[in-house]
Amino acid sequence: IQNKRISYEEKKEKISHPIGKKLIDITLKKKTNLIVSADLIDTKNILKLVNLIGDRICGLKLHVDIINDFSYSFINYLKKISEEKNFLLLEDRKLGDVSSTNSLQLHYGIHKISSWADIVTVHLLAGSMSIQNLNIPSNMGLITISEMSSYGKLSNDNYIRKVLNISLKNPEVIGTVAQRKVDDRLLLFTPGIHFYKKENNVGNRYIHPIQAFKEKGSDFIIVGKAIFLSENPKMMAEEYRNAGWKAYENEL
């Protein structure tokens, strides 16, 4: 019987970028493909969450520009925990401008994303050149956004195919967000994950981790509110970790 998907070990061989390989190593070591999206506006609550769930995740996704009391002591502390508990920091910045502006947004301003993030998300609306000459550190990777999880997303098949092609050609890209199977040389990240919700009232759509792996060929699930709004984030993180891992194993 032919395998339905390739394993993380096989995928690691096809990924050239060190941070892509590192993410897979963490996933295999901790048996988790769960990335938690900490969409919280206070550092205290982010750190509280991280202390509860750090052992269960391979990555923590942030929107640093929503944090009211952002500081470097917060980043340094988070970085320390991420090293102790072995997970990566993803900044979901969704850069979308021309290369020179993207570069300024990565390196400067209050957040100096390139000084701490392991991975940053980018839109390719401005074309392939928009992610050239960004001068990011060699151990920092990009995730392109080919296709969002929301209702009414504007990307069509042609756009998605073009983003995937550019992603494959740029060595700084470790993977993409899409709602479909992609080339084995890209890691596939799937936001919009919930055990039982199908949608929320502001346009996001949700699928179960099983669907993410079975139907979309996902490599990593991204879970936000289902975990951080729950009464017991630690327990929920373990449930999503376990569901994501089993869903992966079932596809082998």
Enzyme catalytic residues: 92, 94, 97
- Among 7, 170, 204, 230, contact with ligand 5IU (rule: CB under 6 A): 204
Q: How far apart are CA 228 and CA 234, in angstroms?
A: 9
Is residue 59 part of the contact set for ligand 5IU (CB under 6 A)? no
In whole angstroms, the minimum distance from the beta carbon of 210 to ligand 5IU comes to 16
Tokens of 147: 């296709």
- Between 60 and 226, name the residue whose CB sits nearer to ligand 5IU: 226
3-state helix, strand, coil in the chain (%, to 5): 45, 15, 40
Contact string (CB under 6 A) for ligand 5IU, positions 89-108, x = contact: ---x----------------
In whole angstroms, the minimum distance from the beta carbon of 200 to ligand 5IU comes to 7
- Between 46 and 177, name the residue whose CB sits nearer to ligand 5IU: 177
Per CB under 6 A, the segment of 11-19, 80-88, 106-114, 220-228 that binds ligand 5IU is 220-228
Q: Is 224 annotated as a binding residue?
A: yes
- Among 191, 209, 217, 233, contact with ligand 5IU (rule: CB under 6 A): 191
Q: How far apart are CA 100 and CA 56, in angstroms?
A: 37
State the DSSP H helix or E strand holding residue 34, giving kind and residue range, or none if neither.
Answer: strand 34-37
Is residue 114 part of the contact set for ligand 5IU (CB under 6 A)? no
Find tokens 């919009």 and name the residue: 192
Nearest to 26 by CA among 1, 6, 51, 55: 55
Q: Is 225 annotated as a binding residue?
A: no
| 8 A C-beta contact, residue 153 and residue 159 | no
Q: How far apart are CA 134 and CA 94, in angstroms?
A: 14
Nearest to 248 by CA among 210, 194, 196: 210
Is residue 236 part of the contact set for ligand 5IU (CB under 6 A)? no
Phi-psi region of 109 (alpha: psi -120 to 50; beta: other; left: phi over 0): left
Site for ligand 5IU in 116-145 (CB under 6 A): 145
In whole angstroms, the minimum distance from the beta carbon of 251 to ligand 5IU comes to 22
**3-state DSSP call for residue 188?**
strand
Q: How far apart are CA 237 and CA 53, in angstroms?
A: 6
119 DSSP assignment = E
Is residue 177 part of the contact set for ligand 5IU (CB under 6 A)? yes
- Between 15 and 226, name the residue whose CB sits nearer to ligand 5IU: 226
- Between 66 and 104, name the residue whose CB sits nearer to ligand 5IU: 66
Q: By CB under 6 A, name the binding residues for ligand 5IU.
A: 37, 39, 92, 145, 148-149, 177, 191-192, 204, 222-226
Q: Which residues are annotated binding-site positions for substrate?
A: 39, 61, 149, 224
